[in-house]
Structure 1
Amino acid sequence: MEITLTIDDKPVKFKSSGAVTKRYKMQFQRDFFADISSFGLAMQKEDIKSADSEKAMQIMSKIDFDLFLDIAWVFAKTADNAIPDPLTWLDGFETFPIMEILPDLQDLIARTIGSKKK
């Protein structure tokens, strides 16, 4: 699955593939699945999109933003191998709207850890 999101007025591609978990481990020396479970995917994207300011603050207090940025980078790198290292890539944005792109990236995460078994 591949999506394109606009970040800082730039189109940015994100892609889920079988290589995501290996690429994540190679770059960050951490296990993708362990990090995802600690990330708290129990948050529903509807909660984020429709939350009032108090609820949004509660949701934000549970998010490990560094972990989220690492996950975002690995999906971007999977979509475009020319993407530089995470810090250089993030320096290319004046703003990086985590709360706006989180719901879309949750879909990619779900695809990565999901099963097609019927």
Structure 2
Amino acid sequence: MLKTLQFGDKSVTFSTSFAWTLIYKSQFGRDALPILIPIIRETANTKKKPDESELAMTFLERLGFSGVVEIAWSAARLVDFNIPDPLTWVASFGDDFEPLDVISDLFPDLILSCFASKKSKAPIPTAKKATTTKK
């Protein structure tokens, strides 16, 4: 599935296919799942379900800004192999790249792609600001 997010006047299309994890490992030399799974476990084991902003803050706190950029870049790179290196790519957005919005709008689909298939009965997350298109 493809998802398009708007950063100022620029639109970026991301692939939420599981293959983003392979791009991530190829570029950054480590697997993304050992980084994400503890965060998912931590938020799933809380007594009360965290709201969207609490969840986004937890991801940002654990991943840091660079981790959010690395994951987002990997999903964008899967769509367009001509995008520049991660630093140049994120710098091209200036102040319009908002990590909390990226986490809220993109990460639910990226995480779901790691653990569910089209045949799965896993719930499908919804995003308010993103446009979704099927490839």
The TM-score bracket by the shorter chain reads: 0.7 to 0.9
| TM-score, length basis structure 1 | 0.77
What per-residue deviation string (whole Å, max 9, x for no partner) do you get for residues 87-116 of structure 1?
111121112111122111122222321222
Correspondence for 2:52: 47
Spell out the pairing of 1:30-109 with structure 2 (5 A cutoff): 30-38=30-38, 40-41=39-40, 42=43, 46-48=51-53, 61-95=61-95, 96-109=97-110
Structure number with the higher helix fraction is: 1
Give the aligned residue type for 1:12: V
Identity percentage of aligned residues: 32
What is the CA-CA distance between 1:12 and the residue it aligns to?
Answer: 0.7
Give the aligned residue type for 1:47: E
Equivalent residue of 1:64, what SS? Answer: helix
CA-atom RMSD in angstroms: 2.7
What per-residue deviation string (whole Å, max 9, x for no partner) do you get for residues 1-47 of structure 1?
11101012211111122421221111000111112224x23387843
Q: How many residues align?
A: 112
After the TM superposition, list the runs of 4 or more consecutive aligned residues in structure 1 that deviate by more than 3 angstroms.
43-46, 55-63
Q: Which runs of 5+ in 1 are unaligned?
A: none
Give the aligned residue type for 2:85: D
Give the aligned residue type for 2:111: A
